[in-house]
Amino acid sequence: MKFKTIEWKDDGVRILDQRKLPGQVRYLECKDALSVAKAIRTMAIRGAPAIGVAAAMGIALAAQKIRTHRQELFRKEIENVFTQMGQTRPTAVNLFWAINRMRRILEQVNTYGVEQTRMRLVDEALLIHKEDIEVNKKIGEHGKRLIRNGARILTHCNAGALATAGYGTALGVIYAARDEGKRFHVFVDETRPMLQGCRLTAWELAQEKIPATLITDSMAGVLMAQGKINLVIVGADRIARNGDTANKIGTYGVAVLSRWHHVPFYVAAPTSTIDFAIASGKEIPIEERPKEEVTHIGGRRIAPSGVNAFNPAFDVTPHSLIEGIITEKGVLRKPFEKNLKKMLKSKNSFF
Amino acid sequence: MKFKTIEWKDDGVRILDQRKLPGQVRYLECKDALSVAKAIRTMAIRGAPAIGVAAAMGIALAAQKIRTHRQELFRKEIENVFTQMGQTRPTAVNLFWAINRMRRILEQVNTYGVEQTRMRLVDEALLIHKEDIEVNKKIGEHGKRLIRNGARILTHCNAGALATAGYGTALGVIYAARDEGKRFHVFVDETRPMLQGCRLTAWELAQEKIPATLITDSMAGVLMAQGKINLVIVGADRIARNGDTANKIGTYGVAVLSRWHHVPFYVAAPTSTIDFAIASGKEIPIEERPKEEVTHIGGRRIAPSGVNAFNPAFDVTPHSLIEGIITEKGVLRKPFEKNLKKMLKSKNSFF
């Protein structure tokens, strides 16, 4: 990748400000946990895996900067940062998964001094970052076999290098297929209201010189009817035990259209996106964001003033509409719940 | 209505510039046929019935201004204007229907002098305008019985007063139901790329104080899944003999989602939108518009430069997905082709 989504600097976290893309490539230099939390909440950084990494780095940054040598006080302050990070965005489970990994470190090291604890928390954040890229590459390896030469792939939102520590989930599969020499075409849903497809996915694919066509979200249906799309791959923000998948608003509509037109619909996500605590998508909290994201574009009002708008950031695609879930351990097939259990038991790749 | 979409002035045609809405309410004063043609092509005025009226008025304007008393020369110049109007936009059949009505006048009056011909052409344009409003009101009367108290209606694009000489087709049904005292809620698809739902439908409904919620096109699916929409009404740009309907891009996707969720999907259109010359939607020419409508919003680039984009302005919804077509002669039910023939034979309302 020619850019870094998020990077650890010894005195801060450097975050590519995705709100400015593609017009400007600007970085936020976050010097404390609060500014990392703000970057997550305001979507300067977004994408389930990326916000997990950002939360971990924000916690690591706090760990470095808390001015105390008393273990008890240190832990109390770190716990506050866990809470703060957990309140940024409710839907992506990777955020809570990353916070929990950091919390486990705190539990493991409770006989250590503060200095060692700081170090271990920083190490864990860096490990989460490094592992995320490795996991994405494995997702790519498992998923690339689904892409045939000449494929015409639709993706929604951005599940690329920008949505992760680097490389990407849905786009990771695409990059892996490209690296293998496969030729194909990608249709990119612009993904209103925040235009992640238009601003981020089209930008990533252009950087990587992958042939792509930008469409409005409303065009996917007719492209499928005309036989112009034969594969859909999207990312995920949270996957329930039964395979129900929360992802960017509009994903559900794409899934229904895919089923209607017999186009296979795949989800690509690390296993950290699977929330084993919940049985179905009904339990996934769906974030509602400010209505100004719908009534305005780039800060400019497009709707009449005073108009009412609805802005759920995600929707849930039922497992019945999903052909397979591409994880770092293999491509999970139906029945998802049963196969998920099997996958967890197997130490190596699932298949 | 508190505004006039299009108005005949003795020295020109006054057109509400819909590209500026809702931010600015500005009128174009078209002094010749060329500027009316340009207003149609650039979507200052849009909506199948409205562009039919505009084309007729543009022809009437030319008829008034052609500086000759020689019938042959006059006819030749008017024929050029017919051609010019016919080249503005290819999909909406009302445009060709209106041009044909004007052409028939020319055929009827071929023994008249130029002055009388001018007068007859102006009269016909004014009649087309007047009839369009009457027809819309009849569509409203026939359609309003489909709206139950407490209904939650979805509409796509703008098939309102702004898309017609006044009143509207899909929104005409809504206005008629409101006038009857019914209470309901309208969900408005923003309708990318040109945002007619956001800019025009939301504006019209706000003017009329009808409760409405603006959504992105990608939200319709999940609203249906949640049972929040129980009726869909859209307009049409061209309807084939078998009922296949071309309408604004995205309509097809809404129709598939409606069928999937068992939500009845209705088309509201005057019979002038029915193209009896074609057997199915496959024969409807679909206009492709500049890709800048997708890569830019309000003149401002949102996509990375150099990105490829696709911009079909319409799609075709197969008749199988349509519950009924609400016309000024009644609500046409399946089988559309057979019932259409019956409807044409009946002198009064169909039912």
Nearest CB neighbour to A252, from listed B198, B199, B221: B221
Residue A237 known to be catalytic? yes
Q: Is the pLDDT of residue B28 over 90?
A: yes
Task: Spell out the domains of chain B, with CATH numbers in brackets.
Answer: 6-138 (1.20.120.420), 147-345 (3.40.50.10470)
Least Cα distance to A231 among A271, A303, A174 occurs for A174
DSSP letter at B299?
T
Q: Is B148 helix (H, G, I), strand (E, B) or coil?
A: coil
Q: What is the pLDDT of residue B347?
A: 61
**Beta carbons of B191 and B217 less than 8 angstroms apart:** yes
Report CB contact under 8 Å: A198, B302.
yes
Looking at the complex, report in whole angstroms how far the Cα of residue A295 sits from the nearest Cα belonging to chain B: 8
Q: Is B234 helix (H, G, I), strand (E, B) or coil?
A: strand
Strand B296-297 versus strand A151-155 pairing type: unpaired
Least Cα distance to B122 among B12, B207, B232, B223 occurs for B12
Nearest CB neighbour to B214, from listed A191, A260, A307: A307
Least Cα distance to B63 among B76, B48, B46 occurs for B76
Q: What are phi and psi of A345, to 5 degrees?
A: -75, -35
**ipTM of the shown complex:** 0.95
Q: What is the residue-wise DSSP string for A170-200?
A: HHHHHHHHHHTT--EEEEEE--TTTTHIIII
Per-residue pLDDT band at B22 (split at 50, 70, 90): very high
Residue in A closest to B286 by C-alpha: A222
Q: Say how far apart CA B5 and CA A351 lie, in whole Å.
A: 62
Q: Say how far apart CA B171 and CA B179 lie, in whole Å.
A: 12
**Beta carbons of A53 and A165 less than 8 angstroms apart:** yes
Report CB contact under 8 Å: A253, B307.
no
DSSP letter at A158?
-
Least Cα distance to A327 among A339, A313, A314 occurs for A339
DSSP letter at B329?
T
The pLDDT tens digits along chain A (351 residues) read: 789 999 999 889 999 999 999 999 999 999 999 999 999 999 999 999 999 999 999 999 999 999 999 999 999 999 999 999 999 999 999 999 999 999 999 988 877 889 999 999 999 999 999 999 999 999 999 999 999 999 999 999 999 999 999 999 999 999 999 999 999 999 999 999 999 999 999 999 999 999 999 999 999 999 999 999 999 999 999 999 999 999 999 999 999 999 999 999 999 999 999 999 999 999 999 999 999 999 999 889 999 999 999 999 999 999 999 999 999 999 999 999 999 999 888 765 544
Q: What is the pLDDT of residue A84?
A: 97
Looking at the complex, report in whole angstroms how far the Cα of residue A44 sits from the nearest Cα belonging to chain B: 16
**Beta carbons of B349 and B340 less than 8 angstroms apart:** no
Report CB contact under 8 Å: B206, A295.
no
Residue B102 CA from chain centroid, whole number: 19
Nearest CB neighbour to B307, from listed A202, A301, A305: A202
Q: What is the pLDDT of residue A2?
A: 80
Instruction: Pick the residue of B3, B201, B218 with the most A CBs within 10 A to test the interface with A by mutation.
Output: B218
**pLDDT tens column, B174-189:** 999 999 999 999 999 9
Q: Which helix (H) or strand (E) holds B300?
A: strand B300-301
Question: Among the options A189, A217, A237, A315, which is catalytic?
Answer: A237
Q: What is the pLDDT of residue A299?
A: 85
- Active-site residue list of B: 237
Strand B238-240 versus strand B245-248 pairing type: antiparallel
Q: Global pTM? A: 0.96
Least Cα distance to B45 among B2, B5, B82, B13 occurs for B5
Q: What are the C-alpha distances in Å from A1 to residues A180, A208, A213, B82, B237?
A: 16, 8, 20, 55, 45
Handedness of CA B198, B203, B208, B213 (dihedral sign): positive
* Residue given tokens 């003017």 in the structure block: B207
DSSP-assigned beta bridge partners for residue A28: A15
Q: What is the pLDDT of residue A348?
A: 56
**pLDDT tens column, B258-279:** 999 999 999 999 999 999 999 9
Q: What is the pLDDT of residue B348?
A: 55
Q: Count Cβ–Cβ pairs < 8 Å, chain A vs chain B.
A: 169
Looking at the complex, report in whole angstroms how far the Cα of residue A245 sits from the nearest Cα belonging to chain B: 13
**Beta carbons of A172 and A143 less than 8 angstroms apart:** yes
A95 to chain B, any CB pair closer than 8 A? The answer is no
Q: Is B11 helix (H, G, I), strand (E, B) or coil?
A: coil
Q: Say how far apart CA B164 and CA B237 lie, in whole Å.
A: 12
Dihedral class, residue A168 (left if φ above 0, else alpha if ψ from -120 to 50, else beta): left
B306 to chain A, any CB pair closer than 8 A? The answer is yes
Q: Say how far apart CA A173 and CA A270 lie, in whole Å.
A: 12
Report CB contact under 8 Å: B190, A214.
no
Q: Is the pLDDT of residue B26 over 50?
A: yes
Handedness of CA B126, B131, B176, B253 (dihedral sign): negative
Residues 6+ apart with CB under 8 A from A327: A139, A142, A268, A269, A270, A271, A274, A343, A350
**Beta carbons of A14 and A7 less than 8 angstroms apart:** yes
E-strand stretches of B95-192 = 151-155, 184-189
Dihedral class, residue B138 (left if φ above 0, else alpha if ψ from -120 to 50, else beta): alpha
List, in sequence order, the alpha helices (H) in chain A.
33-41, 48-65, 71-86, 93-108, 114-143, 170-179, 196, 202-207, 220-225, 251-260, 292-295, 336-345
Q: What is the pLDDT of residue A351?
A: 45
Q: Mean pLDDT in chain B? A: 95
Q: Which of residues 14-33 of B touch A (CB under 8 A)?
A: 22-23
Q: Is the pLDDT of residue B351 over 70?
A: no
Q: What are phi and psi of B9, to 5 degrees?
A: -115, 150
Q: What are the C-alpha distances in Å from B117 to residues A38, B60, B131?
A: 70, 10, 21
Residue in B closest to A220 by C-alpha: B253
Q: Which of residues 172-201 of A touch B (CB under 8 A)?
A: 187, 189-193, 195, 198-199
Least Cα distance to B267 among B234, B230, B316, B315 occurs for B234
Residue in B closest to A317 by C-alpha: B222
HSE toward the beta carbon, residue A281, CA cutoff 13 A: 21
Count of other CB atoms within 10 angstroms of residue B3 = 14
HSE toward the beta carbon, residue A211, CA cutoff 13 A: 8
Per-residue pLDDT band at B338 (split at 50, 70, 90): very high
Instruction: Pick the residue of A158, A187, A222 with the most B CBs within 10 A to test the interface with B by mutation.
Output: A222
Q: Is the pLDDT of residue B349 over 80?
A: no
B2 to chain A, any CB pair closer than 8 A? The answer is no
Strand B314-317 versus strand B245-248 pairing type: antiparallel
DSSP-assigned beta bridge partners for residue A233: A266
Q: Which of residues 63-82 of A touch B (CB under 8 A)?
A: none
Q: Say how far apart CA B156 and CA B170 lie, in whole Å.
A: 9
A256 to chain B, any CB pair closer than 8 A? The answer is yes
A257 to chain B, any CB pair closer than 8 A? The answer is yes
B210 to chain A, any CB pair closer than 8 A? The answer is no
Nearest CB neighbour to B222, from listed A225, A249, A260: A249
**pLDDT tens column, B53-71:** 999 999 999 999 999 999 9
Per-residue pLDDT band at B155 (split at 50, 70, 90): very high
Q: What are the C-alpha distances in Å from A309 to residues A18, A191, A306, B86, B251?
A: 24, 17, 9, 38, 20
Q: What is the pLDDT of residue B50?
A: 97
